[in-house]
Structure 1
């Protein structure tokens, strides 16, 4: 058995590696030319138009079959096979500008199909990549004889509860389901029935990362509200579905690993602050470099760091088990927007890019929001859920705050194409609507495969 000194040395080494993941983000962009880049991860349900229900993972016509068929369209590399199940692959999409955009496809616990695109300096390229993926989904479904489409909503509107949805047969999901079901009342809902739009942003040095992270967290109540796209919760109709339902579900998963990271608004917030918080969490499971997943029981991340020298991939996976509103992992990951149609998802990414990637706009947004605390953020969430556009957020009327942030974001976007993309959502917000309000009968069921492709 290793002695205390060996455990300490192992911990120091692994702690440094864990910290270096965040330090690795100390650059603008990934192209070596100083450009800041954006990434989008868009989760959606696979919807059977004939059965009027979402599609599970296993069996004939399941998401697994669709995933196998999709790989051929993208030169699928790096197939992710876990517990004998294909759960993802990587590829590339060439867009009209000639840029080749990285694409990662994966499957969630409830067979949600996730498409991650980027990073790219151009939101238009990300949108084109998502739309190319969507076209191939429709083609693949047609070739399989299935009338499937992708349904973008924050919560599965076709089920009466999470037990209507089978888990993808992966060890990690079984372990997470068992653990989280004891920590919060809506863990099963979050895993099986929710879909998100996530946007990733670069940062500069550690001080810039801290400033950007704090602003991202402060804006979270507003972004939750402005991207609300949940019309049904456990079978309820739109009239009886509360605002920002998906974020409520995630807040009831595990208070220790969700919500706002303690110390975020402390003037001394650093990478070490985030890593120290992470090390105090129970990771639930650990996946080693061979892809074998085991339960960690009551161990914390800190305990895992003391166990043995970990590989780079093992270190990175430890970040996955933290589920705050905004996550750090070498970039800033804003996690609390509902799943939306691709043009809305791209508009949301453009909105954030305009605020965070212009020095003038970033400073203006920080000044507008002002100094806030963790309790201020929670009060803002509650106010928006109760009063919507009539809420007071950080001492300002929500509608006025959104109007000013839109103006700030537009000023920060130098590309006219990105300003036009932003308008997809801005035109809703200008008339005091959010995506859930814009729902029309054309969304579900969406266009047929032939109509979608224009043939």
Structure 2
């Protein structure tokens, strides 16, 4: 099939070349030599009440806000995040705790060089947190979706960004509010050495992420009943807001590069404007600094100059591709997992991206794909489940090829023993 160059800008959208250059420089600053490659792992947890497993909320004496307040002594005062008078995040070296819109508690771990380090950090997090949550009458569970609650039962935490997202995503797609309030994920971030390596990792991750999802699916419930979808997280994100989710347009074009990724992001409506770190916006009222943006993109909002790192980071955070490019490559496909399965998933990621021989084989395979092939593979998995044959291979074949059963064997650092999984 003959390939042809496509435009990465949304039709009619304007893009500022200075903004494009800012994003490209931002990506360039993330380059690392292979010797410095690490993992970052984010695990989101669903807070549920003991007894009925209904979602625990943010507010009240026994709410998630007070959970964070009781955790404060374990974290650095200067890394606390408050907004509108409410505590929303904590931090210390190699561990950040933040809240997703429906009070999902996210632990952001790393960057780590070994699985042992990752497990130790996570164990410390849970050993500090679990007694507090238990005292308040709830616990944190790892599933891809709330087990007993509907999105309509859950209020959004008091963060301006989330209020804007509720306004925006509640209107443009099918599952935006479900995603915000009830879903939870495991995400793994990896490093890249240069532009070519970053793009190759975006392609391999985008093509194979849905396949890996099959082996790590963890969503038995949806909206208070049995989950009808083979891959619920994929279904939710594919139907949330297509202009900022799913595949990066043109990713499988052989000439695709950082500039193309930047143009796509910059031409998309921002959804949420954040001018709190834009000097030219000094003096604006609060509603002018942070607001919903149904049609404005970066060129409509930010000055005609190079963007600072905060502005770039915000713009990139409004895009939710299956695999997202920042100063790392962020793989976003997977349901929230208990730590044992999250470690095994990280092992699969290590085998796929940091084993050079395996990565070269998979890169060569993905170089033959086009966007339509990835869409077809995702649709096949959703339609046929265990009988699917994404890219012409059975799921058993893919499991063997990706080393799902041997995923702890080829990672750098100390081996991880089964007893460290007990949290």
1:37 is matched with: 38
**Secondary structure at the counterpart of residue 394 of structure 1:** helix
Q: Does 1:289 align with 2:279?
A: no
1:179 aligns with 2:165: no
Q: Kindly tell me: are residues 148 and 223 of structure 1, through their superposed partners in 2, closer, same or farther at Cα, counting changes over 3 Å?
A: same
The one-character-per-residue Cα deviations of 1:221-280 (angstroms, maximum 9, x if unpaired) are 11222221001111222xx53211121011111010000011110001100010010011
C-alpha RMSD over aligned residues: 2.4
* Counterpart residue number, 2:247: 260
Q: Distance in 2 between matches of 1:158 and 1:128?
A: 31
User: C-alpha distance in 2, partners of 1:205/1:244?
Assistant: 32
Deviation at residue 366 of structure 1 after TM alignment: 3.1
Assess if the C-alpha contact under 8 Å between 1:11 and 1:306 holds in 2: no
CA offsets, 1:432-451, max 9 Å, x none? xxxxxxxxxxxxxxxxxxxx
Aligned to 2:148: 158
> Are the aligned partners of 1:355 and 1:409 in contact in 2 as well (CA < 8 Å)?
no
Say if 2:63 and 2:136, in contact at 8 Å, map to a contact too: no
Q: Which of the pair has the greater relative contact order for Cα pairs under 8 Å at 6+ separation?
A: 2
Between Structure 1 and Structure 2, how many residues are aligned? 397
Q: Distance in 2 between matches of 1:381 and 1:68?
A: 42
Is 1:137 aligned to 2:135, yes or no? no
Q: 1:122 aligns with which of 90, 103, 114?
A: 114
1:201 Cα offset (Å): 0.3
Q: Alignment partner of 1:53: what SS?
A: coil
Query: What SS is found at the alignment partner of 2:45?
Result: strand
Check if 1:47 corresponds to 2:48. yes
- Report the alpha carbon displacement of residue 297 of structure 1 after superposing the two structures with TM: 4.0
Aligned equivalents of 2:131, 2:82: Cα separation in 1: 24
Who is 1:16 aligned against?
Answer: 21
1:84-128 per-residue CA deviation (whole Å, 9 max, x = no partner) reads 221102113xxxxxxxxx101100111100000001111221122
Structure 2 unmatched ranges of 5 or more:
1-14, 278-285
Give the superposition deviation at 1:76.
4.6
**Counterpart for residue 282 of structure 2:** none
Task: Check conservation: 1:389, 1:399, Cα contact below 8 A.
Answer: no
2:186 corresponding residue in structure 1 = 197
The answer to whether 1:209 aligns with 2:201 is no
What is the TM-score normalised by the length of structure 2? 0.88
Mapped contact 2:167–2:292 kept (Cα < 8 A): no
Identify the match of residue 325 of structure 1 among 311, 317, 322. Answer: 322
Deviation, structure 1 residue 11: 4.0
CA offset digits 1:270-308 (Å, max 9, x no partner):
000100100111011122235942233421123234456
Q: Does 1:364 align with 2:354?
A: no
For 1:223, which of 203, 209, 212 is the aligned residue? 212
Distance in 2, matches of 1:323 and 1:382, equals 19
Q: 1:410 to 1:52 in 2, by over 3 A?
A: closer
After superposition, give the CA deviation of every residue in 1:125-178 in whole Å (9 maximum; x if it has no partner): 112211211111112235xx323221111111111x211110112221111111
Q: Which runs of 5+ in 1 are unaligned?
A: 1-9, 93-101, 425-451
TM-score by length of 1: 0.82
Paired with 1:312 and 1:156, the residues of 2 have a C-alpha distance of: 35
State the secondary structure of the residue aligned to 1:182: helix
What is the SS of the residue equivalent to 1:318?
Answer: helix
Equivalent residue number for residue 301 of structure 2: 304
Given the alignment of the two structures, is residue 375 of structure 1 paired with residue 372 of structure 2, yes or no?
yes
**Against the structure 1 CA distance between its residues 245 and 218, is the aligned structure 2 distance closer, same or farther, given a 3 Å change threshold?**
same
Please tell me whether the aligned partners of residues 227 and 338 of structure 1 are also in contact (alpha carbons under 8 angstroms). Answer: yes
Match of 1:112 in 2: 104
Instruction: Specify the alignment match of 2:85 in structure 1.
Output: 84
Q: Which position in structure 2 is the counterpart of 1:447?
A: none
